Chains A and B, each alone.
Chain A
Amino acid sequence: MSEKYIKPSRDIAARMMVDEMVVMSVKDSRVFSLNPVASVIWSAADGFTPLREIVARKVVSEFDVDAEVAYQDALELVEELAQEGILLLADHPIGQERV
């Protein structure tokens, strides 16, 4: 099974509001509000830490959930955010892409 790597797109603005990450696409001004688990994953999306490791370190330990279930949910989430164009998702580490 290949690792997945994630990193915010350069075309977004984002700010953590208490426990909720607010993300706006600067291309089309769509706004997204991420729940606390999604916000934790987003905040750890540095392009080089594998998604499975992010989930294990930041989600499983913090939110007391089954590791495999959490990973599958996270995978679904990041695929959705990638489809929306606000998150980069790749099978390899993602380099310096931000402005």
Chain B
Amino acid sequence: MNTILENLNSKAIQLGIPLGVHLDVTWRCNERCVHCYLDHDDLGEMTYDEIEDLLTQMAAAGVFFLTISGGEPLLRTDLFAIIRRARELTFNVKLKTNGILIREKEAALIRELGVENVQVSIYSHRAEVHDAITKVKGSLNRSLDAIRFMVSQGLKVTIANVVMKQTRFDYPSVQKLAGELGASFTIDPTITPHINGDRSLLRLNIDRNDLREIMNDKTIAGEDQFIAVAPGADEDVMDSIPCSAGHSACYVSPYGDVYPCVQFPLPSGNVRQQKFIDIWKYSPQLEEVRSIRSRDLPVCSSCSHVAGCSRCPGLAYMEGSMRGPSTADCEKSFVKTGIPSANMLLKAAKANA
């Protein structure tokens, strides 16, 4: 990461500044992806005026990085007014979209408004596979057209490839496609539970062997990230925090609910009832999240991977405890090193007892 950004993040954590916010402006969507963790009914989204007020509050609180997402954000007819206001308030705006509603005109407008990056999900280079996941015929071609329109405008576009059972062999081709289109590429090999807690979506996760292949693919992971066994746990490691959730970042739903992260659905307040800054500073839930250090984790603190694990506290929360292990991250640590996590050993011991 850029040194200035590293320093910025450290400063934000030290001073308790919410540097980044992920704002879902709607959960409605024009796709019905088989792995989606959201409901798509409109249960009373924030109005433009409410969002404008929230943006003003967030700018005053120090929010700099604003990710606007959904659902499909372009289903809001006032999306461009929201982005325009956000840019007037000099946020760094990233947009996550499926691109279906982006044609030349919208691409030009997104560029004109100064959106820094647009992320589009592409599940497979094969239309029949991608479209079966989104349940929208023609969606791959629409999304790829959108990427072409945006790249031709000079926008930075990232293709996000969620790997699941149906697409486990496709990521190299999607990566190649991204290169041909002039887009960046990012991969996510983890399917997350539904935001309501339903874990049945996890059946779509790839198996351990496929995960191992991806985690050891140097074109994905880089040269050194997935080779070494995690270093030993020193005092710094035991005092470390797991990620930025609740420390320098949070999530706001279309209904004004504040969570530590989009993958950490711990209700921490609602901006329709309280000021954003009061939730950020004084919510007991966020205070609890901020209080947790590696040494406080009952299983993970004794794990040989504690220094190198990407343990997601949100996934752990959805497994039952924000201080507990996240099985998906145990799997990643295992396939990277061949060494079972403390959680895996514990489970094996229980099974053999």
For the complex, count residues of B whose C-beta is within 8 A of A.
Answer: 28
A13 to B59, CA, bound (A): 11
A8 to B114, CA, bound (A): 13
Chain A interface main SS type = strand
Contact of B92 among A16, A24, A98, A99 (CB under 8 A): A24
Question: What residues of chain A lie closer than 8 Å to B116, measured between beta carbons?
Answer: 13, 24, 26, 29
Kindly state the interface size class of chain A when it binds its partner.
20 to 34
B4 to A22, Cβ gap below 8 A?
yes
Is A60 an interface residue when CB atoms closer than 8 A count as contact? no
Minimum distance in angstroms from B262 CB to a CB of chain A: 21
A72 to B260, CA, bound (A): 46
Minimum distance in angstroms from B120 CB to a CB of chain A: 18
B62 to A15, Cβ gap below 8 A?
yes
Known: A12-B90, A17-B11, A99-B87. A26 touches B4 (CB 8 A): no
Known: A13-B90, A13-B92. A22 touches B114 (CB 8 A): no
Is A82 an interface residue when CB atoms closer than 8 A count as contact? no
Closest to B8 in A: A22
Is B135 an interface residue when CB atoms closer than 8 A count as contact? no
Question: What residues of chain A lie closer than 8 Å to B90, measured between beta carbons?
Answer: 8, 12-15
| Interface-central residue, A32, A33, A99, by most chain B CB under 10 Å | A99
In the assembled complex, 25 residue pairs joining A and B whose CB atoms fall closer than 8 Å, in A order, are A8-B90, A10-B114, A12-B90, A12-B114, A13-B91, A13-B114, A14-B90, A15-B63, A15-B64, A16-B62, A17-B8, A17-B12, A17-B64, A22-B4, A24-B92, A26-B93, A26-B116, A27-B154, A31-B2, A31-B4, A31-B5, A32-B4, A33-B4, A99-B84, A99-B114
The chain A residues found within 8 Å of chain B, CB to CB, are 8, 10-18, 22, 24, 26-27, 29, 31-33, 98-99
